[in-house]
Amino acid sequence: MTHRSLNAIRAIAAILVVVYHLRTLLFQPGDGFLYALTGLGPAAVLVFFVLSGYWVGGSVINGFRRGTFTWSRYVSARLGRLWIVLIPAVLLTSVLDHLGLAMLGHTSIYAGDAAYHDTVPASDLAGRLDPLTALGNVTFLQTMVVHTYGTNASLWSLAYEAVYYAVLPLALATWRGTGRTRFVSAAILLAILLLAGPKVLMYLPVWLLGAAASQIKGKVPQTAPARVVAAVLVVAAMGSTYAHYSSINVLLLAGATTALVMTLATDIKRDSRVLDGLSRYAESSYSLYAIHLPIAAMIAAILTPDAAARWAPTPGHWLALAALTAGLTVAGWAFAQVTERHTDRLRPVLTTILQGNRARSAA
């Protein structure tokens, strides 16, 4: 059953990431309210982590509690969800980046200007487009073994989530398993933790907060005042994170988001076209996240070829930013129609393959 409220949060978070990247690529550095409002992308990724923990981590915990968890179903569900968008997104990034280097190689973005180092690679873009880097990104090794692929620096978070997807069930299997199962689970868990390292694992508590929320959600009031207070806390925490991205502010935002998620455990029943629209678009939010940055990089290279000539914060430029955000949102929806919307068709295929491999191994 669709959960409109949480889906709407997911859609808003994805759009905030897009707005942030477009503003960073197109606008001169500045300050003020609109800069703050369009600078919430990094904070929005933390919201994604909490929601992911709530849905995926919660399902893992429930599966272990009921004794219904199976690795074949879990792995096929996770890989089906991730690969059906990620593999085409990497291919699209390759096409766009090779075109960009060939046709717009003189521009600041494709030449590797340091002004963009927080958004797209500042050097050796061509070196990030080799087959091994593509394979590393498809197998979720970016930031740990290989770079993120091409200009698509947003793919870093998928590697982090893949680690979290593995860590929780392996930890539970180590805790609750016996004999060989416990030993193998512990060995694989240790290997993943060593590979991931502190940089990746620093956000694991954020993800686990979402998983914990799925288990205690019934103990938080499901009332309008509680939801308003939690929403205000999330906005305030996002503002604090924008002003100063620190471990304390990250945890405060994660805690506030977790509180909001728990107050929304019972979905809002009120009819709302806005809520309905955002909820429907959430089914395209992963696609939007996975493809927007290489498209945005090419758009910025065309509109502002030189980093020094990026836009001033005029009303016209803010309107242009809104229009470009709308365009990318449509592109994400279109991409999802040929990828993300077919996730349920891919999952059983992967389950059959994994179960077949397991049966052959047992034989």
Q: Tally Cβ neighbours within 10 Å of residue 327.
A: 15
Q: What is the pLDDT of residue 217?
A: 77
- Structure confidence at residue 2 (pLDDT): 75
Split into its structural domains, the chain has a count of 1
Element (H, E) at 258: helix 247-263
Q: Could you tell me which of 271, 283, 260 has the C-alpha nearest to residue 344?
A: 283
| Dihedral over alpha carbons 119, 125, 131, 132 (to 10 degrees) | -70
Domain range enclosing 49: 4-362
- Other Cβ atoms closer than 10 A to 351: 19
Residue 361 confidence (pLDDT)? 52
> In the numeric block, which tokens belong to residue 206?
């954020």
* Mean predicted confidence (pLDDT) in 20-36: 94
Look at 76-80, 137-141, 350-354 and tell me which has the smallest mean pLDDT: 350-354
At 211, list the tokens. 């998983």
**Range 102-109, long-range pairs (CB < 8 A, 24+ positions):** 104/298, 104/301, 104/302, 104/305, 106/305, 107/301, 107/305, 107/306, 108/301, 108/304, 108/305, 108/306, 108/307, 108/308, 109/25, 109/151, 109/297, 109/300, 109/301, 109/307
Q: Per-residue pLDDT tens for 199-257?
A: 999 999 999 999 999 998 777 888 999 999 999 999 999 999 999 999 999 999 999 99
Q: In this structure, what DSSP letter does residue 54 have? A: I
Q: What is the pLDDT of residues 58-95, one digit of tens each?
A: 999 999 999 999 998 999 999 999 999 999 999 999 99
Could you tell me if 137 and 30 are in contact, meaning their C-beta atoms sit under 8 angstroms apart?
A: no
> Dihedral sign, CA of 130, 134, 136, 141?
positive
Neighbours of 203 (CB within 10 A): 19
Task: List own/partner pairs for 352-357 with CB under 8 A and 24 or more apart.
Answer: 353/76, 354/71, 354/72, 354/75, 354/76, 355/72
Q: Which residues contact 132 (CB under 8 A, 6 or more apart)?
A: 146
Across 110-148, b (16+ Cβ under 10 Å) vs e yields: bbbbebbeebbbeeebeebbeeebbebbbebbbbbebbb
Judged against a pLDDT cut of 80, whether residue 349 lies above it is answered with no
Segment 250-278 mean pLDDT: 92
| Spatial distance between the Cα atoms of 55 and 139, rounded to a whole number of angstroms | 22
DSSP string, 143-182: TTTBPPSTT-GGGHHHHHHHHHHHHHHHHHHHHH--HHHH
Q: What percent of the chain has pLDDT over 90?
A: 82
